[in-house]
Amino acid sequence: MELLDDSVVPEHARAVKQEAREFAQEHIAPAAQEYHNSGEYPWDILEAGMDAGLVAQDIGEEWGGRGLDLYEIFAIAEEFYRADAGIGLTMMLASFGAEIVEEYGSEEQKEEFLRPVAENEQITGLAVSEPDTGSDLAGMTTSADLDEEAGEWVINGEKYWIGNAVEADWVTLYAKTGDGEDRYSNYSMFIVPTDAPGYEAEHIPEKIGMRASKQGHIVFDDCRIPEENLVGTEGAGFYILAEFFNHGRIVVGGHGLGLAAAAIEEAWEFTHGRQAFGRDVSDFQAVQHILADMRMEFEAARALNWRAAEKVVENENGGFWAAMAKTKSTEVANFCAERAMQLHGGRSILQDRRISRVYRDVRIPVVYEGANEIQRNLIYRQAQF
Nearest to 99 by CA among 128, 70, 137: 70
**369 catalytically annotated:** yes
Element spanning 313, H or E: helix 285-313
Distance of alpha carbon 360 from alpha carbon 324, whole angstroms:
23
Section 202-227 average pLDDT: 96
Binning pLDDT at 50, 70 and 90, where does residue 351 land? Answer: confident
Q: Which of 97, 118, 139 is the last residue of a domain?
A: 118
* pLDDT 10s digits, 354-366: 999 999 999 999 9
Q: If pLDDT is split at 50, 70 and 90, which confidence band does 234 have? A: very high
Find the mean pLDDT for residues 247-255.
96
Check if the beta carbon of residue 312 is closer than 8 Å to that of residue 318: yes
CA-to-CA distance for 117 and 97, rounded, in angstroms? 11
pLDDT computed for residue 135 by the predictor: 81
Confidence of residue 275 (pLDDT cuts 50, 70, 90): confident
Residue 143's pLDDT is 98
Rounded to whole angstroms, the Cα distance separating 31 from 354 reads 12
| Percentage, residues of the chain above pLDDT 70 | 99
Give the per-residue pLDDT at 263: 97
Q: Would you say residue 322 lies in a domain?
A: yes
Model confidence at 201: pLDDT above 80: yes
194 assigned to some structural domain: yes
Co-location of 231 and 266 in the same domain: no
Q: 3-state SS string over 140-156? A: CCCEEEEECCCCEEEEE
Q: What is the CATH number of the domain that holds 28?
A: 1.10.540.10
Q: Is residue 331 part of a domain?
A: yes
Given a cut of 70, whether residue 270 has pLDDT beyond it is: yes
In this structure, are 376 and 249 located in the same domain? yes
Per-residue model confidence as pLDDT tens digits over 75-110: 999 999 999 999 999 999 999 999 999 999 999 999
Domain count, the chain: 3
350 located within any domain: yes
Q: Answer yes or no: do 79 and 200 share one domain.
A: no
348 pLDDT higher than 90: no
Lowest-pLDDT range of 236-240, 256-260, 284-288, 310-314: 284-288
Q: State the chain's mean pLDDT as an integer.
A: 95
When pLDDT is averaged across residues 214-223 and rounded to a whole number, the result is 98
Which residue in the list 112, 130, 369, 373 is annotated as catalytic?
369
In a domain, 103, yes or no: yes
Give the residue among 385, 295, 369 at the shortest CA–CA distance from 327: 369
**Cα separation of the two ends of the chain:** 38
Measure Cα distances from 191 to 195, 226, 312, 371 in Å.
Answer: 12, 9, 26, 25
pLDDT in tens, 304-320: 999 999 999 999 999 99
What is d(CA 232, CA 142) in angstroms, rounded to the nearest whole number? 18
For residue 148, what are the domain limits?
124-235
377 SS3 class: helix
Do 138 and 100 belong together in one domain?
no
Mean pLDDT on 18-36: 97
At residue 385 the predicted structure's pLDDT band, cuts being 50, 70 and 90, is: low
Confidence grade of residue 173 (pLDDT, cut at 50, 70, 90) = very high
Q: What is the CATH number of the domain that holds 201?
A: 2.40.110.10
- Strand pairing report for 199-203 and 152-163: unpaired
Q: Model confidence over 317-332: pLDDT tens digits?
A: 999 999 999 999 999 9
**Is residue 2 a part of any domain in this protein?**
no
Residues 62 and 75 in one domain: yes
Domain assignment present for 254: yes
Task: Please check whether residues 202 and 323 belong to one and the same domain.
Answer: no
